[in-house]
């Protein structure tokens, strides 16, 4: 007897489509942002669609026996049609919402340590897209391990700048995100030096490194 493979119910969106449609599959590897081929219409013509959700239970508002099955994964040409489309749910880890004294919603910026914990919790969730709309609080939280700061020299736009960080894993040749200008817009920069010794000119006025950039693994070429 062969094992009974579980059935998953996959929500998909067609290119430029506004509505989600449900298809069934037993392919356990299908996840959000995959592009699949699905039958459409009475003739079952195959069309590409992007996955927006994977569920273990069928929808309650549609007969299960009328749900069609995913035909397979899309090829390179069809995947290209969906370049730049991201169906993950955005999660802004730069702030947390709390209720004020009058019941109003107040957004409070998170600390670097809180963001590290959120990245650890949601960073590997295929349904979640982590975003940061604001620069973190400049002072580490009181509950964090208080390492002495390192002084990071970075290079971009043919100039060098110095920042502070409590992340002792940062090393030369790493790429970090640093705040630039009055608006603290984050920009990638290469680390060219790391020192425990502060610069002689106003070290306490230096801005803080936001974080190391995560290395993005290249997508698999087989399908």
Q: What does 94-129 look like in DSSP terms, one character per residue?
A: TEEEEE-TTS-EEEEEPPHHHHHHHHHHHTT-TTEE
Query: Which residues form the domain of 195?
Result: 150-212
Query: Total domain count for the chain?
Result: 3
State the pLDDT at residue 34.
97
pTM: 0.55
State the pLDDT at residue 134.
65
Is 145 within the bounds of a domain? no
Is 137 within the bounds of a domain? no
> Phi then psi for 153, rounded to 5 degrees?
-100, 125
Question: Mean pLDDT of successive 10-residue segments in the chain (223 residues)?
Answer: 78 93 95 96 95 93 92 96 93 82 79 81 87 59 60 87 86 88 82 88 77 62 47
How far apart CA 9 and CA 131 sit, in angstroms, is 27
State the pLDDT at residue 1.
47
Domain-ending residue, one of 42, 57, 80: 80
Q: Are residues 13 and 65 in the same domain?
A: yes
Q: Are residues 37 and 71 in the same domain?
A: yes
Q: Are residues 15 and 61 in the same domain?
A: yes
Q: Are residues 72 and 99 in the same domain?
A: no
Q: Are residues 12 and 74 in the same domain?
A: yes
How far apart CA 154 and CA 206 sit, in angstroms, is 13
How far apart CA 79 and CA 85 sit, in angstroms, is 10
Is 2 within the bounds of a domain? no
Give strand pairing partners of 136. Answer: none
* Beta-carbon-side half-sphere exposure of residue 106 (alpha carbons within 13 Å): 8
Is 47 within the bounds of a domain? yes
Whether residue 198 contacts residue 155, with contact meaning beta carbons closer than 8 Å, is answered with no
Is 58 within the bounds of a domain? yes
**In terms of C-beta density within 10 A (0-12 exposed, 13-18 middle, 19 or more buried), how is residue 47 classed?**
middle
Q: Are residues 166 and 202 in the same domain?
A: yes
Q: What CATH number is attached to the domain comprising 69?
A: 3.40.1440
């Amino acid at each position: 007897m062969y094992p009974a493979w579980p059935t998953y119910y996959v929500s998909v969106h067609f290119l430029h489509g506004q509505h989600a449609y449900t298809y069934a599959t037993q392919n356990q590897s299908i996840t959000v942002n995959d592009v699949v081929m699905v039958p459409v219409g009475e003739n079952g013509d195959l069309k590409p669609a992007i996955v927006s959700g994977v569920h273990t239970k069928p929808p309650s508002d549609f007969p299960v026996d009328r749900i069609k099955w995913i035909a397979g994964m899309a090829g390179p040409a069809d995947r290209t049609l969906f370049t730049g489309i991201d169906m993950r749910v955005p999660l802004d880890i730069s702030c947390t919402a709390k209720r004020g004294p009058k019941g109003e919603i107040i957004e409070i910026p998170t600390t670097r340590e809180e963001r590290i914990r959120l990245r650890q919790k949601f960073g590997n969730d295929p349904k979640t897209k982590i975003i940061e709309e604001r620069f973190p609080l400049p002072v580490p939280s009181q509950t964090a391990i208080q390492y002495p700061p390192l002084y990071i020299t970075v290079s971009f736009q043919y100039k060098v700048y110095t920042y502070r960080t409590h992340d002792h894993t940062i090393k030369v040749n790493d790429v970090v995100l640093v705040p630039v200008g009055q608006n603290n817009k984050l920009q990638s920069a290469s680390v060219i030096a790391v020192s425990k010794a502060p610069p002689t000119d106003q070290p306490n006025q230096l801005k803080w490194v936001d974080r190391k950039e995560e290395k993005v693994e290249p997508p698999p070429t087989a399908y």
